[in-house]
Amino acid sequence: GSGGNGCEENKTIWVGDLQYWMDENYLHNCFGPSGEVVTIKVIRNRQTGQSEGYGFVEFFSHASADKALQNFTGHVMPNTDRAFKLNWASYSMGEKRSEVVSDHSIFVGDLAADVTDEMLMELFASKYRSVKGAKVIIDANTGRSRGYGFVRFGDDTDKAHAMTEMNGVYCSTRPIRVGPATPRRTSGDSGSSTPGHSDGDSNNRTGICWWARPKC
């Protein structure tokens, strides 16, 4: 049967470095002519409706997604002087997961108020090739940065280096503080809860959306 949905079946690519005016139509003009595109989604801020600077393009097959990745990476985006920034998406668009956090994420704190996703991404991507994404957490009520965020790596070695090398490095006007990214939800992790309490399921759940909306 063709029931496998492992990584090799990933048909969705992540598109980063999008400018505020780049919408689904823009991306469709870039990727659509191949006739291989199923859906296109630009991620927008729920409060403002403004683009978050990245989106996803889902193709009919892994092969056509892979081809787009090869053909477009490094090429200049139409009407700009920027190159396409592409990567495999870490989840399929069918799943309702705004961001899936892998074990390769780190916490970044003490951020200056003006630090954006892009600034955080550039700071780490300039040193570590495997950086997959960066997210500054925004307060839903004020629309301002909460002073911390997360950086996701594709590689454990880079993550380990960043944990030691990036502490105290300046981003904008302040030195940053880095640490392990651990979901705060699981308080029963220390073994205080009884084992066999269908823990596996609840643990599975907590890792999914905490990066998108952590609750203190």
Residues 53-81 have pLDDT tens digits of: 999 999 999 999 999 999 999 899 999 99
pTM of the model: 0.43
Domain of 81? 7-88
Extended strands (E) in the chain: 12-16, 37-44, 51-59, 85-88, 105-109, 131-138, 145-153, 170-171, 174-175, 177-180
Question: Which tens digit of pLDDT belongs to each residue from 81-118?
Answer: 999 999 988 754 444 344 444 568 899 999 999 999 98
Task: Assess whether 59 and 124 both reside in one domain.
Answer: no
Domains identified in the chain, total number = 2
DSSP state of 78: T
The answer to whether residue 190 is domain-embedded is no
Q: Which residue has the tokens 């787009």?
A: 68
